[in-house]
Amino acid sequence: MASTPQAGNALAAVIAPLIKGDGINDTPLPSVSLLCLSRHQVRTPLLYEPSLTIIAQGRKMGYLGDREIYYDPGHYLVQTLPLPFECETYGSPEAPLLGISVRLDPALLSEMVTAMGNTGDHAQAPLPMASVAMTEGMQEAVLRLARTLNEAVECSTMGTARIRDVVFEALKGEQGPALRALVLGHGNYSRIVQVLSKLHRHFADDFSVEQLAAQANMSPSTFHHHFKQITRSSPAQYLKRLRLIKAQQLLLQDNHNVNQAAAAVGYRSVPQFSRDYKRYFGEPPLQHRRQEQALRA
């Protein structure tokens, strides 16, 4: 197999003809998307769904609380929880960032974890988001998946199998224990995962720490400690960031006005929403939308 830079170049060459423009590009496989950004994007709040992100060209730097997470052609990102975080992207018109994202399907993950059985995972606490060194097996699996996207018959026939190859390699890797923890449901990590799932389903509702702690079957102080250990934020900070990112998506993608977006994510005060939005994104809601639309034009 080629070295990492050569493998990255090979993957970029396969991906590039499929790219339609900057941003997230859909593919014939619903759980697979292609990434492209032909400019440098400063540190920006984002929300990734549970997924594997493999960079073919360019690089990204994620910030989760006090952690810095680098991923480039030599490393792929394993995201097991939909955590709000911040990300800086390095791309240019001459060498745009190119990558491929594979959404983690809970049913597929459960099936594969069960089939693999007990793998003797290390006892250390799982990380919900981490960069993993690219292996030869993962390079080969991702390249096979990318090539499949170019062939309609192969894509419809073998696409699911190619995705399984990629997920299998991730399960064998350093973040395999974190992926298995989502399925096996053991310990404090699993309890926090259940709470996070509830917050993402009902982000417009109000919750107290006591309510969330009760769901996790923990005392409020123990819950707060484990929640912050995993998400690098307090429950209140997490919910606020989640609401603001959801509001950003409504403003940029669904053309909600500011009042509609604020109400949809649970804010009762539009001025408070605008203040929080500016503090988090650096610009008021309307100005931020205009800037993003201008960049995408």
Q: Do both 19 and 70 map to the same domain?
A: yes
Q: Do both 34 and 156 map to the same domain?
A: yes
Q: Do both 225 and 177 map to the same domain?
A: no
In this prediction, residue 254 carries a pLDDT of: 67
In this prediction, residue 261 carries a pLDDT of: 93
Is residue 123 within 8 A of residue 178, CB to CB? The reply is: no
| pLDDT tens-digit series, residues 84-100 | 899 999 999 999 999 99
Listed residues 182, 207, 232: the one ending a domain: 182
Listed residues 182, 207, 239: the one ending a domain: 182
Q: Do both 116 and 245 map to the same domain?
A: no
CATH number at residue 259: 1.10.10.60
When mean pLDDT is compared across 57-61, 104-108, 186-190, 279-283, the lowest value belongs to 186-190
pLDDT band for 219, please (50, 70, 90 cuts).
very high
Residue 187 belongs to a domain = no
Q: Do both 219 and 156 map to the same domain?
A: no
Q: Do both 158 and 20 map to the same domain?
A: yes
Task: Taking residues 126-143, report their average pLDDT.
Answer: 92
Strand, helix or coil for residue 99:
strand
Number of domains in the chain: 2
Q: Do both 37 and 100 map to the same domain?
A: yes
Q: Do both 73 and 114 map to the same domain?
A: yes
Residue 108 belongs to a domain = yes
In this prediction, residue 271 carries a pLDDT of: 94
Task: Taking residues 229-252, report their average pLDDT.
Answer: 91
- Predicted model pTM: 0.84
pLDDT band for 8, please (50, 70, 90 cuts).
low
Among 46, 6, 17, 52, smallest CA distance to 33 is for 52
H or E segment at 125? none
Q: Taking all residues of the chain, what is their mean pLDDT, rounded to a whole number?
A: 89
Domain with 260, as residue range(s), is 196-296
**Is the per-residue pLDDT at 2 higher than 50?**
no
CATH number at residue 28: 2.60.120.10
In this prediction, residue 177 carries a pLDDT of: 87
Q: Do both 167 and 249 map to the same domain?
A: no
**Quick one: what percent of the chain has pLDDT higher than 70?**
92
Residue 275 belongs to a domain = yes
Longest dimension (CA), the chain: 57
Q: Do both 239 and 138 map to the same domain?
A: no
d(CA 15, CA 32): 12
Q: Do both 40 and 75 map to the same domain?
A: yes
* Burial label, 11 (beta-carbon count in 10 A; 0-12, 13-18, 19+): buried
Listed residues 152, 182, 212: the one ending a domain: 182
Residue 189 belongs to a domain = no
The residue whose two tokens read 């190619």 is 162
Residue 237 belongs to a domain = yes
In this prediction, residue 1 carries a pLDDT of: 41
DSSP 127: P
pLDDT band for 120, please (50, 70, 90 cuts).
low
Q: Do both 21 and 125 map to the same domain?
A: yes
